[in-house]
Amino acid sequence: MDCEHTGRLAAWLDGELTAAETAALDAHVAQCSACRERAVLLRRTYAALEMLEPVEVPEGLAARVRARTRRRLHKAPVYVAGALAAAAVFLMALTLRSPAVDPGRHVTASTAATSSVRLAAYYDVALEEVRMLEDMQLLHEYDVLADLELLAIYDMLLDMDEFTGVMSI
Amino acid sequence: MMAFASGDDAAFDAIVNRFERQVYGVIQRYLGNSGHSSQAEDCAQEVFIRLYRMRKSYKPTARLSTLVYRIASNLCINVLRDETRRRGVALDAPCALDGSPLGATIADSAAVSAEEAFSARERAEIVRKALAAIPDRQRAALILHRFEGLSYNDIADALETNVDAVKSLLSRARASFADALKRDLDAGNI
């Protein structure tokens, strides 16, 4: 039978209660068989975790991570033409819903970046949330975005202050 | 960290060296794998890529370790959960993330007589599978607390919640874990 205090036993065992709470629960556990039984089970399960072997980091992991990170992020410019076009279509699909956008207007690098700001304003969300689009369900359902590398292209779009090309939509 | 935020590759290299064990360890434990796991390595790689991409928005008031654990936990809980769904593994079916049925493993192990000795490796496998069976955020909280030694405050930062929520998560995590292990504990298998 569960006692109303069993939910606090984990914090009690972890030493995360205040001194007063700990003293109170000490006194309670001494008198409550349900809590004592539960505490024994919790201690045994924590002891069971000690049976797990230490995790051994594979040799050379850091070097592989560094190399692959550089390859993933630095090869993004190779896809500028096609990937920017795809990303631009994606942004266009969103921005054309905004009454402030003129479809016939040439979109420059700076205005494409500004589109993120307008998106945020239009949808009344924080700019940071727009920049977290990689976590949106929309992206998971958008086939071309199944490739996480395209998300690196999206980062480039956000950094388009350095890009001087002009796109025409 | 400020050097890293300004794009210093050497600073990023130092960060990878410093946190590779923690990142790989959290992911490996979360996945319930033993030995070298290419999946864990791929996920660890993704953590550092996400960290690199966030460098410009890094605020020096936040501890770097908190950010690293937050990215790793988020990846484990959100991305790996989505991959599990795509593979058609039911979330409420007790199973390890590699798709192996946990229920069958526990049933099999419980059928072994009490007199038979379980090797350390077999016991570790039972524990690993039980850990993989508990709900995502509970598992992440338990791993961060028990294996990474994070305080409740640090876990709250990593999981982007508050301390009271962490207390609740850990309480439920230990209860879930205990329930997953109870049969083997009662049978004396571990």
Per residue in B1-41, pLDDT (tens digit) is 677 777 778 888 899 999 999 999 999 999 887 766 788 88
Q: What is the DSSP string of chain A?
A: ---TTGGGHHHHHTT-S-HHHHHHHHHHHHH-HHHHHHHHHHHHHHHHHTTSPPPPPPTTHHHHHHHHHHHHHHSGGGGHHHHHHHHHHHHHHHHTTSTT--TTSEEEHHHHHHHHHHHHHHTT--HHHHHTGGGSHHHHHSGGGGSTHHHHHHHHHHTGGG---EEE-
Nearest to B91 by CA among B77, B108, B109: B77
Residue A2 in this model has a pLDDT that exceeds 50 = yes
Q: Distance (Å, rounded) from C-alpha A24 to C-alpha A21?
A: 5
CB-CB contact of A122 with A98 (8 Å)? yes
| Token pair for B54 | 């966030």
A140 band by pLDDT with thresholds 50, 70 and 90: very low
Phi/psi for A107 (5° steps) reads: -100, 115
Q: Distance (Å, rounded) from C-alpha B82 to C-alpha A167?
A: 35
CB-CB contact of B177 with B141 (8 Å)? no
pLDDT value for B138: 95
Its pTM surpasses 0.95: no
* Residue B146 CB neighbour total at 10 angstroms: 20
Using the Cβ of B6 and the Cβ atoms of chain A, whether some distance falls under 8 Å is answered with no
Mean pLDDT value of segment A54-66? 88
B 128-157 → A contacts, CB under 8 A: 128, 130-131, 145-147, 152
pLDDT value for A91: 60
| Token pair for A142 | 């958008």
A74 band by pLDDT with thresholds 50, 70 and 90: low
8 Å CB contact of B127 and A49: yes
CB-CB contact of A149 with A76 (8 Å)? yes
* Residue B49 CB neighbour total at 10 angstroms: 20
A152 → chain B, closest CA residue: B53
ipTM value, please give it: 0.70
* Residue A111 CB neighbour total at 10 angstroms: 16
Q: Distance (Å, rounded) from C-alpha A65 to C-alpha A1?
A: 50
Per residue in B115-165, pLDDT (tens digit) is 455 688 888 899 998 998 899 999 999 999 999 999 999 999 999 999 999
Residue A149 in this model has a pLDDT that exceeds 60 = no
Selected residue of B6, B19, B34, B45 to mutate for chain A interface (largest A Cβ count, 10 A): B45
